[in-house]
Structure 1
C-alpha cells in the first residue's frame, strides 16, 4: 500500500498503520536519547504503570532530528499540507508488568499556554501547570496524530483497539451498549512502524498479558489558529525541525 492509499484509509477509517518507517538503528538511537534525557520535573508523569515526558521535542533536544528522517518527512508531507505544525509531543513508556486498561474514549484535549474564557472552548483542566481544553470540533477534525512504536505492540501487549469510522460522528461519549464491537479492530504495530489516527476515533488501550515494554512517541499535528487570546502550548513549525527543506 502506497502513502496515498494510507491517507485514504486514514480519512475513511480514522486509522492507518505503516510498517517499517524506521529501521532498528534509528529506533535504538531514539531509545538511547530518551534514556539519557533529563527533562524538567514538571513535564514528567511517573507512577507504577507509566512513565511519560510531555513537551517531548522541547525537553529532549536532538530527538526531532531522529524522527524527521527523509522517509518520515516524505510520508508526513503526503498526509498533511506544509502549513501543519507540531502541536503536542509525548513519550509514553508503559511498564511491562502493568495490566492497565483504558476504556474507549476520544482524545479531545489540546494544550494551551494560558486559560481564557473563549466561546467554544470548554472542559478546562490544569495538570502540573499545563492547561488543557476541549476546542471546537473543527480543530479536532484538523488534527493528525502519529504514534511511533519503539517496541512490538500486539494483542497480548496492550495494543490499541479501535472502532473504525467512529471519527466521523463528531464529539460523542462512548456507550458500550451502543457500540458496534463486531467492527472493533486491534491495532498491532511492529517496532519501527507508525500508527496514524484521528483524535476523534474511539480507541481503548488493552490490558497486557506479557512483560514486554510498550514505548510510544505520540505526536499531534495541526494547521488551525486558536481563537485569541489562546495560544498553543507547543508550536513547532515542521520546516524548523525537519532536516528537509519543506
Structure 2
C-alpha cells in the first residue's frame, strides 16, 4: 500500500504526513506491545526505555518491525526505490512527566548529506495532545537548517531552535492511534510538551535515508546502514549485519540522547 499522489504532494508541501491506516492491528498490534514489554525487560537498573537506541542491530524483533512491508511502501513513496535503515529508538514519556522535547530540527544533529531522510513514528498505544504528542510546524522544512541554541534544564535535548524563527501558532499536533504511524522530513521544526495524563506515551522511531545520503564518519564513526529496499549503487556507508537473536541488547552502555522525536 504505497502513498497516493495526493498524500505524497501533502508531505512534500508540508513536511509531514499523518492520518494513515494503522499498520499494526489485531494480533500484530498485540505482538508489538508484548515485544516492547519484553525488550524493556533487558534494561539495566540505571536505564530507561528511551535508552533503547539502535537496538535493531542486535534484536531481530526490532529489525523485523522496521522492515514491515507496509512501512517500507510508505517510505519508498517518498525516498524512491533505493533506501536504507540507519536509526531506531524508543521515545517514551511516563505519566505526568514534565520533560519536554523543545522545538528543533533532526537534520541539525545528524552528519548526513544530502538531507533526504524520512522518520517513521509508530505509536504502540494511543498518542494524543493529552499525553504529549509530537507537534510540527508545517512547511518549516523548506527554510533549510535554522540556528539552534543551548536548551533549558527541562529539555531532553541539548539544543533547541532560537525563538523568533517560526510561529508556534502554526503548530499541528500529530495524534496517532495505537499501531499507527506518522512520517516527517528531517528538516521540519517539531517538538512536544510534557505528558499531563495518567497514560504512558510510547513511540518506536525509525530513520530511513536514500542510498545517495552519506554519513560523515569522522563525526559518527559508529554509523551503520541496512539496505531495506532496492540496491545501494553508491555504497557510501558501512553496512550492518542483520541480527539473528530475537531479543538482544547491544554490548555498549547507554548513550546520551542527542536527538528526539
TM-score scaled by length of structure 1: 0.75
C-alpha displacement at 1:201, in angstroms? 0.8
Out of 225-234 and 209-218, give the one that drifted further. 225-234
2:133 matched to 1:159?
yes
1:32-181 aligned at under 5 Å gives the runs 32-37=34-39, 46=47, 51-108=50-107, 134-135=110-111, 138-139=113-114, 141-173=115-147, 174-181=161-168
The separation in 2 between residues aligned to 1:159 and 1:238, in whole angstroms, is 28
- Which sections of structure 1, spanning at least 5 residues, go unmatched? 111-133, 242-246
Q: Answer whether contact 1:87 1:233 (CA < 8 A) is retained.
A: yes
Distance (Å, rounded) in 2 between the aligned partners of 1:56 and 1:67: 11
Contact 2:103 2:190 in 1 (8 A): yes
Q: 1:236: which partner in 2?
A: 226
Contact 2:111 2:216 in 1 (8 A): no
The answer to whether the 8 Å contact 2:215/2:223 transfers is no
Q: Structure 1 stretch 172-181 or stretch 193-202: which is displaced more?
A: 172-181
Task: Give the C-alpha shift of residue 25 in structure 1.
Answer: 2.2
Write the distance in 1 (CA, Å) between the matches of 2:216 and 2:66: 30
- Residue in structure 2 matched with residue 129 of structure 1 by the alignment: none
Q: Secondary structure at the match of 1:201?
A: coil
Residue 45 of structure 1: CA displacement? Answer: 8.0
Deviation for aligned residue 1:213 = 1.2
| TM-score between the two structures when normalised by the length of structure 2 | 0.71
C-alpha deviation, 1:217, in angstroms: 0.8
- Equivalent residue number for residue 15 of structure 2: 14
Runs ≥4 in structure 1, deviation > 4 angstroms?
Answer: 38-41, 227-232
SS of corresponding position for 2:215:
coil
Does the 8 A contact of 1:31 with 1:150 survive in 2? yes
Q: C-alpha deviations, 1:9-42, integer Å up to 9, x for none?
A: 221111101231221422221222232236586x
Pick closer, same or farther for the CA change 1:89–1:51 going to 2, 3 Å: closer
Q: Which whole-Å CA distance do the structure 2 matches of 1:40 and 1:86 have between them?
A: 23
**What's the CA shift string for 1:203-235, capped at 9, x where partnerless?**
111122201111111111112123576756231
Q: Distance in 2 between matches of 1:65 and 1:227?
A: 27
Relative to 1, partners in 2 of residues 1:67 and 1:228: Cα closer, same or farther, differing over 3 Å? closer
Match of 1:226 in 2: 215
The size of the alignment, in residue pairs, is 212
**Structure 2: how far apart are the matches of 1:161 and 1:39?**
31
**Structure with greater strand share of residues:** 1
Structure 2: gaps spanning 5 or more residues:
148-160, 230-240, 243-261
User: CA-atom RMSD, angstroms?
Assistant: 2.8
What is aligned with 1:23? 25
Aligned position for 1:4 = 5
CA distance in 1, matches of 2:101, 2:198: 18
The 1:6–1:236 alpha-carbon spacing in structure 2 relative to 1, beyond 3 Å, is: same
